[in-house]
């Protein structure tokens, strides 16, 4: 486990499977965390042991589809800790299963709003601060289908591919300022939701949210200081 002592990390989607695993991994490595969720009360329920902690902040009621909320989030983190060392964008949503010509345009709009706009807004909000600070790390959560998309997942794959290209361009822009941006691209993960949806699948071959979290913890650590603009597939054990 990398040493992230006193690092301040923003984790969006902190109540989701990957977000919660990432928050736990970063905290275990010594990081102070800003945990973000759209709901006003889910963070307190998900992290009862952190309520009132001086080392962790609940950023509840933050709607990252709104640029002003992303700006407010960054302000909250700076007001509390005086710095931001890393941003992990784990907000995301999945819909799919229909051929492209049958998939509702509303599904396309929803997935691009949740998967792309939230990532765009947080990156736009935090990047000026990281540049002024002279360093920082961003990790965006894409998906394996962004690299190779199967039938029936055009909308989801396209939204996650947008996250990949956003990350690559941002990495090129930030390199001269001592900042890094990378993405992870998990395949099907071993979560309760996926087990319920695919009860007959080979669950033991799937990667876990903890597997993803360990890669993210590495990417925001000094051990990954030479890694910028990459997309790391996390494909499981198959």
E strand or H helix at 138, and its extent? strand 136-141
Residue in 126, 225, 144 with CA at minimum distance from that of residue 184: 144
Could you give phi then psi for residue 18, rounded to 5 degrees?
-70, -40
Write out the catalytic residue numbers: 156
Q: Per the structure block, which two tokens stand in for 231?
A: 């997309």
- Cβ–Cβ under 8 Å, residues 139 and 216: yes
Residue in 236, 138, 220, 221 with CA at minimum distance from that of residue 185: 236
Which residues share a beta bridge with 35?
11, 58
- Cβ–Cβ under 8 Å, residues 108 and 155: yes
Pairing between β-strand 56-60 and β-strand 32-37 as defined by DSSP bridges? parallel
- The contacts of residue 182 (CB under 8 Å, 6+ apart) are 137, 138, 139, 140, 167, 171, 219, 224, 227, 228, 229, 230, 231, 232
């Amino acid at each position: 486990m990398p040493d992230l002592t006193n690092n301040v990390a923003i984790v969006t989607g902190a109540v989701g499977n990957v977000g919660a695993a990432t928050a736990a991994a970063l905290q275990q490595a010594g990081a102070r965390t800003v945990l973000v969720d759209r709901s006003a009360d889910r963070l307190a329920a998900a992290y009862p042991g952190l309520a009132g902690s001086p080392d962790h902040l609940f950023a509840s009621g933050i709607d990252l589809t709104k640029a002003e909320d992303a700006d407010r989030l960054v302000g909250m983190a700076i007001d509390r800790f005086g710095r931001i060392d890393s941003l992990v964008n784990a907000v995301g949503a999945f819909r799919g299963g229909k051929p492209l010509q049958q998939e509702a345009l509303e599904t396309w709009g929803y997935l691009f709003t949740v998967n792309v706009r939230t990532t765009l807004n947080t990156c736009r909000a935090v990047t000026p601060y990281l540049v002024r600070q002279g360093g920082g790390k961003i990790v965006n959560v894409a998906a394996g289908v962004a690299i190779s998309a199967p039938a029936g997942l055009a909308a989801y794959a396209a939204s996650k591919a947008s996250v990949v290209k956003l990350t690559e361009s941002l990495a090129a822009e930030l390199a001269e300022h001592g900042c890094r941006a990378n993405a992870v691209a998990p395949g099907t993960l071993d979560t309760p939701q996926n087990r319920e949806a695919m009860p007959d699948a080979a669950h033991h071959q799937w990667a876990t949210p903890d597997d993803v979290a360990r890669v993210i913890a590495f990417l925001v650590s000094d051990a990954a200081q030479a890694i910028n603009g990459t997309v790391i597939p996390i494909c499981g054990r198959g």
